[in-house]
Amino acid sequence: MTTNVSVIVPLYNEEDNILPLSAEIEQALSDFTYPWEVIYVDDDSSDGTRERLKEVAESLGDHVSVVELQRNFGQTAAMQAGIDQARGDILVTLDGDLQNDPADIPSMVQRLIDEELDLLVGWRKDRKDNYLLRKLPSIIANYLIGRMSGVRLNDYGCSLKVYRAEIIKSVRIYGEMHRFIPAWMASHTSTSRIKEQVVNHRARQYGYSKYGLSRTYRVLLDLLSVYFFMSFMSRPAHFFGRIGIVLGGIGGLMLTYLLFVKVFMGDDIGGRPLFLAGILLVIMSIQFFCTGILGEFMTRTYYESTGNKPYIIRERLSISASAWHQQ
């Protein structure tokens, strides 16, 4: 069966990078073994990006397509739009700022196929960015994401990634979750099928970066969401129940101590702050238990109403799936 490759490039205000980027992609894939296409996704740019993209599409041919979003939805939505429109069996994503090198694409695609991987992530080992504003926050984020998700990678933030289409299309990314794609994919495939490869990284030549230290708090919030959905998507009662047990245990110990003081020491406990705190913690514990039960009902409703399963079958090996053993 022929393997087709789709290259997806989300863009926002990158008018000066369009022509050199498209030329580099064409050159890198000119002798490519597999049929390929390029999908540029314009995230409602306010500069001349749209006009440049139309020039590229008209001059290069039908293997180049341009998707224009109605308004600025963000990089994650633009990437998801490209994934939805892609026709290939293998998908490649890269930034449109020329910092990712298209020359790395052929070797990454071939490795994904040869090693039967589902995701190959680029590792910008020699990253050409400001250390304090870009590299240090990324180092911290990579460590935290690896610890919480169990997928240990050196560079979660590199946009140059190669995916097996059937897996990445089963994952929906929202908000600013594109940097957590390896973690999301780990909920759909084995971590042994997720690897990384050192890639070339270049300093930005045109335009300006859309990211800075302001994204740090958003990464932390997104990380909590990823942790919850990866670990407790099908069992929310375990998540809320743990919190309820801790709060209820602390509150129970407080009230038990006060009961001892009241019964055996005869002291008045009605006006003690510890008494109010103990009651409050017990009430909060009951609320968390109830939230967990409601979460279980919602999870069951989700799976039964959508037809989705809490598991994914990669392949069933059988001579005949309809055969039955008979004596």
What's the pLDDT score for residue 145? 76
**Do 65 and 12 fall within a single domain?**
yes
**Do 50 and 169 fall within a single domain?**
yes
In a domain, 215, yes or no: yes
What's the pLDDT score for residue 89? 94
| Distance from C-alpha of 40 to C-alpha of 78, rounded to nearest angstrom | 9
Q: Residue 99 burial (CB < 10 Å; 0-12/13-18/19+)? A: buried
What's the pLDDT score for residue 210? 56
Distant-in-sequence, close-in-space partners of 76: CB < 8 Å, separation ≥ 6? 173, 174, 175, 176, 177, 178
Domain of 60, CATH number, reads 3.90.550.10
| Distance from C-alpha of 17 to C-alpha of 23, rounded to nearest angstrom | 10
What's the pLDDT score for residue 138? 74
CA–chain centroid gap for 314, Å, is 20
**Do 214 and 244 fall within a single domain?**
no
Which residue, of 232, 265, 292, is where some domain finishes?
Answer: 232
**Do 301 and 193 fall within a single domain?**
no
What's the pLDDT score for residue 85? 93
In a domain, 100, yes or no: yes
**Do 210 and 244 fall within a single domain?**
no
**Do 228 and 283 fall within a single domain?**
no
In a domain, 313, yes or no: no
What's the pLDDT score for residue 310? 65
What's the pLDDT score for residue 216? 62
Nearest Cα residue to 7 out of 81, 113, 73, 82? 82
In a domain, 311, yes or no: no
In a domain, 318, yes or no: no
Strand partners, 92: 7, 162
- Residues 198 and 158 sit within 8 Å (Cβ to Cβ): no
In a domain, 149, yes or no: yes
Average pLDDT across the chain, whole number: 85
pLDDT tens-digit profile of 180-200? Answer: 888 888 878 888 899 999 999
Domain of residue 29, residue span:
5-232
pLDDT tens-digit profile of 23-73? Answer: 999 999 999 989 999 999 999 999 889 999 999 999 998 899 999 999 998
**Do 227 and 260 fall within a single domain?**
no
| Distance from C-alpha of 269 to C-alpha of 276, rounded to nearest angstrom | 10
Residue ranges for the chain with pLDDT beneath 70: 1, 129-134, 207-219, 308-327
**Do 55 and 179 fall within a single domain?**
yes
Domain count, the chain: 2
Which residue, of 194, 211, 232, is where some domain finishes?
Answer: 232
**Do 100 and 161 fall within a single domain?**
yes
**Do 132 and 209 fall within a single domain?**
yes
**Do 103 and 176 fall within a single domain?**
yes
Nearest Cα residue to 167 out of 310, 316, 34, 314? 314
In a domain, 295, yes or no: yes
**Do 226 and 240 fall within a single domain?**
no
In a domain, 35, yes or no: yes
What's the pLDDT score for residue 326? 65
